[in-house]
Structure 1
Amino acid sequence: MLKSLFNWKVLLNLLVAIGIFVGLVWLTFRWLEYHTNHGQEIPVPNVVNKSVHDAVKILEDAGLDYEVDSAAYNPKYRPLQVLKVYPSQGSRVKDGRAIQLMVNPKSWAPVAVPDVINKYSGLAFQRLDQVGLKVGDTIFESSIQKDAVLRILFKGNSIKPGTKIPRFSVVDVVVGSGPLRNISVPNVVGLTVKEAKALIARNLFEVGLVDHEDGGNDDSDIIYYQDPAAGDTRDQGMQIDLWASKKTPAELRGKIEILNSTYRMKVDTTLPPIRYEEVPNFPDPPMNEPTPAPVSPPKKEVPRTDAAKQSTGSAKPATTNDKTKPAANSTTPATDKPKAKKVII
């Protein structure tokens, strides 16, 4: 068996097979080198800090492809400026390799305007700041919604909630300053319902009750009565009630008089005015302090007359029946009776 293995014919066939295999491998690598441009590499050109349009032109001239991606907007750099390149500049790549370009966007990423209409202005400003929008001017406008946001303006134009604008954009906010006072009520009698509604809105009032005589809802009916009356003064936002009919106000004179008796009350000024007199108010004495007793006036003494002196008499002499007692020559002093006093009050 070994003898047959080392036969020259077998060895020849083995060498031919090995040569064919090596040739196939060599041809395969040569084909791969040709197909992949092995050994033919191109250095990545320097396109950092250039505009994306110039960078794309340089890469195309070098036989390289490109992919553009945007980073977060940075105001320190120019819009559409190339910030980074991958692979980095100077790296050797094959022809046709895609180079990634990191570009600064034109502006901040857009954000949606939050819905802050009819919200309190303080809360609305906080919400706008949270999404990255800056409040520029605060414009006050007469409205019954005091301190509420009425509109949002961007570059002078009103925008709706949900509109996307660049982040950190400056927006102006229109805020209600409260209703106007003492506005003259317009005269809408003789107008159609449609015309009356438009005139009432222009004069900053609201349309209240609209009573159609026929029970319908036709805006072409003519207004024959209104409350409040034309020329009265009301505050902004007050309602004006309307009565409408297909007839003219002249044809509804009787009904107008009935409405006047209800809504046009007259004040009778013929009665004399009522006079009020003020009653003095004396303070009550304190409860704990005793009330002082009334002081009577001093008594006045009447001078004695001669008749009064005579009525009193003189002292009688003392008499003795006993003989042993001294003689009745000695007298005792007379004592005066108390005199009556007359008091004058």
Structure 2
Amino acid sequence: MLKSLFNWKVLLNLVVAIGVFVGLVWLTFRWLEYHTNHGQEIPVPNIVNKSVQEAIKILDDSGLEYEVDSFKYDPKYRPFQVLQVYPAPGSRVKDGRAIQLKVNPRTWARVEVPDVINKYSGLAFQRLEQVGLKVGDTLFEPSIQKDAVLRILFKGTPVKPKTKLPRFSVVDVVIGSGPMRNIAIPNVVGLTVKEARAVIARSMFEVGLVEHEDGSKDESDIIYYQDPASGDVRDQGMQIDLWASKKTPAELSAKIEQLNSVYRMKVDTGLPPIEYHEIPAHQEPVYEAPANIPAPAPKKETPKPAETKTEVPKTTTAKPGTSTTDTKPKPTTNTTTSNNKAATTAQKPAEKPKAKKVVVE
């Protein structure tokens, strides 16, 4: 078997096979070098701070491809200015290599308007600021939804939720200021249901129950009755019930009288008006005794027993021939004065002598 391996024919075939294999490998590498431009490199030009139009022209002349990506907007730079390049300028790349360009956009990125309609104004303002929108003017409009957002305006035009606006755009917000009071009810009797809806909406009311006589929902039916009646005053947002028919109100007089007995209350004006008297606060009631009941007799007070201890006043007797202790001279009075004093004392009732306590030693 070893002798057969060293046969010249076998060796020749083996050499030929090795030569073919080496030739295929060499051809493959040569083809790859030609296809990939092996050894041929191009330096990346410096296109930073240039406009995107200038940068694209320079890359085309250099035989390089490019990919433009929008960078975060920076107001310090010009719109469409190249801010970054990858690979960095000065790097050597092959012919046809794609160069990535980071370009400053024209303005801020667009954001969606959040759905804050019919939401509380305080929460709506926070949501608008979170997405990057600024609130400009706050407008108030009469509405039953007090302090709720009714509309969002951008440059005077209403915008719907999820509309895309540039970031940091200024929007105006319309907020409900509460319902208007004492608005006159419009007269819609004789109008069609469609016309009545428009009149009620313009008067800032809402359509309530709409009852058709034949059970249909034809908007061309004629209104022959409404509640509340025209001329009454109600607050904004109140509902107005309607009764419609294909007949005229004159043909439905009996039906109208029946509805009046239910929805129109008659007030009797012949009764005297009720008078109300205000009672002062904290007033004690006064009770009077009946005239036929005699007044109660006064109670007799029982005299208290005199105390046993009595006090004996000490008296001093003046000896004859001696002067009294009072050495002051007595004032002299006129006889008329003494007579007047005597008359005054005579007019006063006699006073009872007061009992004196006597202490016996």
Q: Normalized against structure 1, the TM-score is what? A: 0.70
CA distance change for structure 1 residues 119 and 65 in 2, over 3 Å: closer, same or farther?
same
Q: 1:121 to 1:224 in 2, by over 3 A?
A: same
Matched letter for residue 95 of structure 1: D
Runs (5+) with no aligned partner, structure 2: 1-17, 287-295, 299-361
Give the aligned residue type for 2:284. P
Per-residue CA distance 1:16-50 (angstroms, 9 max, x = gap): xx999999998877766555444543322221112
What is the alpha-carbon distance in structure 1 between the residues aligned to residue 278 and residue 67 of structure 2?
97
**1-side partners of 2:142 and 2:97: how far apart?**
64
Q: Which residue of 1 aligns with 2:171?
A: 171
Question: How far, CA to CA, are the matches of 1:19 and 1:264 in structure 2?
Answer: 117
How many pairs align? 273
Distance (whole Å) between structure 2 residues aligned to residue 152 and residue 45 of structure 1: 48
The equivalent of 1:248 in structure 2 is 248
- Structure-2 separation of matches of 1:207 and 1:42: 77
Q: Does 1:193 align with 2:209?
A: no
1:272 counterpart = 2:272: yes
| Cα distance in structure 1, aligned partners of 2:34 and 2:285 | 125
Task: Output the CA distance in 1 between the equivalents of 2:20 and 2:277.
Answer: 140
Matches within 5 A, 1:277-288: 282-283=283-284
Amino acid at match of 1:46: N
% same residue: 79
Question: Counterpart in 1 of 2:62?
Answer: 62
Deviates more, 1:29-38 or 1:80-89: 29-38
Please tell me the residue identity of whatever aligns with 2:79: P
Q: Which residue identity does 1:283 align to in structure 2? A: E
Residue 84 of structure 1 corresponds to 84
What is the CA-CA distance between 1:221 and the residue it aligns to?
1.1
Matches within 5 A, 1:124-163: 124-163=124-163
Partner of 2:180: 180
Distance verdict in 2 for CA 1:207–1:35, change over 3 Å: closer
Whole-Å Cα distance in 2 between the matches of residues 20 and 119 of structure 1?
Answer: 81
The alignment's C-alpha RMSD in Å is 3.2
Alpha carbons of structure 1 residues 23 and 256: separation in structure 2 relative to 1, 3 Å: closer
Q: Which one-letter code corresponds to 1:187 in the other structure?
A: N
Once the 2 structures are TM-superposed, how far is the Cα of residue 261 of structure 1 from its aligned partner? 2.7
Shift in alpha-carbon separation, 1:95–1:269, aligned structure 2, 3 A: same
Flag the 1:64–1:233 CA change in 2: closer, same or farther, 3 A.
Answer: same
Aligned partners of 2:163, 2:173: CA distance in 1, in Å?
15
> Which residue number in structure 2 is paired with residue 334 of structure 1?
none
Deviation at 1:131, TM superposition (A): 1.9
Mapped to 2, the partners of 1:278 and 1:119 lie a distance apart of 47
For residue 118 of structure 1, give the secondary structure of its aligned residue in structure 2.
coil
Q: Given the alignment of the two structures, is residue 223 of structure 1 paired with residue 191 of structure 2, yes or no?
A: no
Q: Report the Cα distance in structure 2 between the residues aligned to 1:143 and 1:279, rounded to whole angstroms.
A: 42
Supply the distance in 2 between the matched residues of 1:227 and 1:202 (Cα, whole angstroms).
17
After superposition, the Cα gap between the structure-2 partners of 1:92 and 1:210, relative to the gap in structure 1 and judged at 3 Å, is: same
Alignment CA distance shift 1:276-1:81 (3 Å): closer
Amino acid at match of 1:135: V
**Counterpart Cα distance in 2 of 1:223 and 1:163:** 41
CA distance in 1, matches of 2:277, 2:98: 104
Matched residue, 2:348: none
CA offset at residue 160 of structure 1? 2.0
Taking structure 1 as reference, are residues 270 and 163 closer, same or farther at Cα in structure 2, changes over 3 Å only? same
Deviation for aligned residue 1:191: 0.7
Query: Alpha carbons of 1:90 and 1:284: their partners in 2 closer, same or farther (altered >3 Å)?
Result: same
